[in-house]
Amino acid sequence: QESLVEAVYSDEESDDDASSDFGSTQCKLCGREFFRNCSLALHLKSHECMGSIEIRPYKCETCGKSYAQKSVLKKHMAVHSGEKLQCNICNVGFTQRSSLVRHRKRLHKELYSDS
């Protein structure tokens, strides 16, 4: 019986198999990039072991992290750009709105209501 990973990669050309050990190859399941096909082969086993077929086509060009949704990648990019959302009460900065809202609810609940 063919494994899930083998099925995903079965349409690959024969000159792009694990015996070819140099060049850049990307995992079709998560978007992670490998420079050795033997490293990709080991990585693919982890997808099988975890039962993961999560596809993450949106890749951060700065750190290489990949995401399933473009909107999540966009939020992640704030980490690299230095953009901060500031608390209007104490001026602490946050890269994500959810962190700012949580901060306000915990530290300024009597002064700020985020309804």
Least confident of 15-19, 21-25, 69-73: 15-19
Computed over every residue of the chain, the mean pLDDT equals: 74
Question: CA 77 to CA 88: how far, in whole Å?
Answer: 23
**Domains of the chain, residue spans:** 4-50, 84-115
Mean pLDDT computed over 51-71: 79
3-state secondary structure the chain: CCCHHHHHHCCCCHHHCCCCCCCCEECCCCCCEECCHHHHHHHHHHHHHHCCCCCCCEECCCCCCEECCHHHHHHHHHHHHCCCEECCCCCCEECCHHHHHHHHHHHCCCCCCCC
pTM flag (> 0.85): no
